[in-house]
Amino acid sequence: MRTDARRIRRSTGVEARSAEGSPQPVRFGRDAEALAQQSWRLYIETSQRLSQVLEAGLREESGLVLGDYNVLLLLWEAPRRTLTMSALARRLVFSPSRLNYRIRLLEEAGLVRKTGCPDDRRAHNVTLTAQGEETFVEAARRQRRHVDELFLDHVRAEELTVLHTVFRRIAEALPD
């Protein structure tokens, strides 16, 4: 059983059980990689929980979901508060159909306006409306408070530099 348990752990990362049913510790790769695996799992679990808590607060206080907030944020930061649909999709990592759906809802709420692109008849521009700007400014103020409380208050200044360096490197290594 011991050899089978090792093989199962190495190939799947799933905990094996002894013949008596007691759990054997999960090991992903060599023992030297334990910290790396624990760090990865902690990152995944914490980032998911953080996103859920941030979204719940955002939804409760402003009625926006995190994806919509990010659309408004990108438009807020863009020149003339306008981006093409393709630029938004790339930055948000949204499929075209998901982005079209979200933009339609934001447009119905009066937060954005979708128009044809004068430079390319195949493209569409999305522009933040005055109501969208007002909604974003209020939501951003609240979101910043939540980010401070849930994230930044728990990170020292020197750790921010490390986090920025690591995540910049990872972001640059990811495919578009």
Answer yes or no: do 46 and 96 share one domain: no
Answer yes or no: do 30 and 54 share one domain: yes
CATH number assigned to the domain comprising residue 151:
1.10.10.10
pLDDT number for residue 1? 46
Answer yes or no: do 4 and 79 share one domain: no
pTM value is 0.75
Residues 100 and 12: their CA atoms lie apart, in Å, by 38
pLDDT number for residue 129? 98
What is the number of structural domains in the chain?
2
Whether the CB-CB separation of 16 and 24 falls below 8 Å is answered with yes
Answer yes or no: do 77 and 33 share one domain: no
Answer yes or no: do 33 and 89 share one domain: no
Residues 166 and 176: their CA atoms lie apart, in Å, by 18
Structural domain ending residue among the three candidates 22, 44, 62: 62
Answer yes or no: do 77 and 157 share one domain: yes
Alpha helix stretches (DSSP H) within 63-156? 66-77, 85-92, 96-108, 130-150
10-residue stretch averages of pLDDT, the chain, 176 residues long: 48 50 58 81 96 95 94 97 94 88 97 92 94 97 96 96 95 88
Answer yes or no: do 111 and 35 share one domain: no
Q: Which two tokens stand for residue 126?
A: 């999305």
Answer yes or no: do 90 and 153 share one domain: yes
Answer yes or no: do 103 and 163 share one domain: yes
Answer yes or no: do 96 and 167 share one domain: yes
pLDDT number for residue 120? 86
Domain range spanning residue 23?
1-62
pLDDT number for residue 110? 98
